[in-house]
Amino acid sequence: MKVVLFCGGLGTRIREYSESIPKPMIPVGSQPIMWHVMQYYSRYGHRDFVLALGYKANVIKDYFLHLDSATTHNCVVSQFGKKVEIIGEQQPDWRLTMIDTGVWRNIGQRLVAVKEHVKDEEIFLANYSDGLTDAPLPEMIDFFKASGKIACFIAVRPPFNFHLAEFDESGLVKRLKANTESEVWINGGYFIFRNEIFDYIKDGEELVLQPFNRLIKDNNLVAFKYEGFWRAMDTLRDRQVLEEMVENGQMPWAPETDMPRERHTVHAVTQSVRSR
């Protein structure tokens, strides 16, 4: 299946990095977080990506157009750098269609802007490009197909602890409980769509607001509940947590020990779509 990656946000909550590079390019270990997301899909055989670019689109284009295997893979260099031999098995190709959807488009409109590139897909995948998980993607896809619905997202527990308060009209507290004891679930940013999703998105609309509410009204939206590892990189602290996991060799989203050094051959297609 094709995978649409939303790569155009400003990343204002992690401004320490996003002022110089787009959020999906913020590194986790030696590679950008979106590289890790793409590795996740690639591991399950989904290697045809559509990148919906926006903020600092040129940075992402430049990264993939100049991806050097010598910097992402073990290698032997000889003849004063003229000869480079890659050590280990070559990884499968990635195919990238990079579409500049404009700086100020929201997620819903970025999806519409790349509609032409998934028009032949009965089902396609989509991702916010800023979160990592070890969720069983084949199970999620099977769950979605069996549902017969139009859209699906992964529902996860909030990655932080807080206490929920129950109180009456006078303010008298009746109960306090941890969020882990409740049925609080959030959208984890991993989506599966049928092509009919575009019938639910109107001009200017954000994806998970009006369109999703229409899907709910028509009983066409399902959630795949997952309680395993999931972590989004919304803040500097989130990045620090992921960095510490990499440093300690604890990367559930990348079970293969050589994942940070893998290299993919990239076939890139670029196109621009102007903002309205």
Summarised one tens digit per residue, pLDDT across range 31-65 is 999 999 999 999 999 999 999 999 999 999 999 98
Contacts of 174 (CB under 8 A, 6+ apart): 166, 167, 168
Question: 149 or 16: which carries more pLDDT confidence?
Answer: 149
In angstroms, the CA 71 to CA 266 distance is 15
DSSP strands (E only) in the chain? 2-7, 27-28, 31-32, 48-53, 75-78, 83-86, 94-100, 123-127, 131-133, 151-156, 163-167, 173-178, 186-194, 221-226, 230-232, 266-272
**pLDDT higher than threshold 70 for residue 167:** yes
Classify 34 as helix, strand or coil: helix
| 164 phi/psi in degrees, rounded to 5 | -95, 130
- Predicted confidence at residue 142, as pLDDT, reads 98
What pLDDT digit, counting tens, does each position of 103-118 carry?
889 999 999 999 999 9
Task: Specify the pLDDT at position 261.
Answer: 39
| Alpha-carbon distance values, 103 to 113, 119, 181, 241 (Å) | 12, 23, 40, 29
Q: Under DSSP, is residue 258 helix (H, G, I), strand (E, B) or coil?
A: coil
* Cα–Cα distance measured from residue 60 to residue 81, given in angstroms and rounded to the nearest whole number: 26
Distance CA 49, CA 31 (A): 17
Which of 11-25, 120-134, 226-240, 248-262 is modeled with the greatest confidence? 120-134
What distance in Å separates the CA atoms of residue 250 and residue 214, rounded to the nearest whole number?
A: 40
* Of residues 70 and 94, more confidently modeled: 94
Residue 264's pLDDT is 45
Mean pLDDT of 132-153: 98
**What does the pLDDT read at residue 11?**
60
Are the C-beta atoms of residues 87 and 76 closer than 8 Å to each other? Answer: yes
Q: Across residues 186-207, what is the average pLDDT?
A: 96
Bridge-based pairing state of the strands 94-100 and 266-272? parallel
Query: Residue 274 pLDDT > 90, yes or no?
Result: no
Residue 163's SS3 state is strand
**Angstrom distance (rounded) from CA 179 to CA 109:** 33
Distance between CA 251 and CA 245 in Å, rounded?
Answer: 6
The whole-angstrom separation of Cα 119 and Cα 150 is: 15
How much is the pLDDT for 9?
74
Residue 72: pLDDT band with limits 50, 70, 90: low
Q: How confident is the model at residue 259 (pLDDT cuts 50, 70, 90)?
A: very low
Q: What percent of the chain clears pLDDT 70, i.e. is strictly above it?
A: 83
What is the chain's mean pLDDT, rounded?
86
257 pLDDT band (50/70/90 cuts)? very low
Pairing of strands 186-194, 151-156: antiparallel
Half-sphere exposure for 132 (CA within 13 Å, toward CB): 23
Task: Give the model's confidence band at 85: pLDDT under 50 very low, under 70 low, under 90 confident, else very high.
Answer: confident
Q: Are 54 and 111 a contacting pair, CB within 8 Å?
A: no
Asked if the model's pLDDT at residue 147 lies above 70, the reply is yes
Q: Ranked by mean pLDDT, which of 47-56, 156-165, 264-273 comes out on top?
A: 47-56
**pLDDT grade for 73, boundaries at 50, 70 and 90:** low
Q: Does the structure show a pLDDT above 60 at 80?
A: yes
Return the higher-pLDDT residue of 6 and 161: 6
The bridge status of strand 48-53 relative to strand 94-100 is parallel
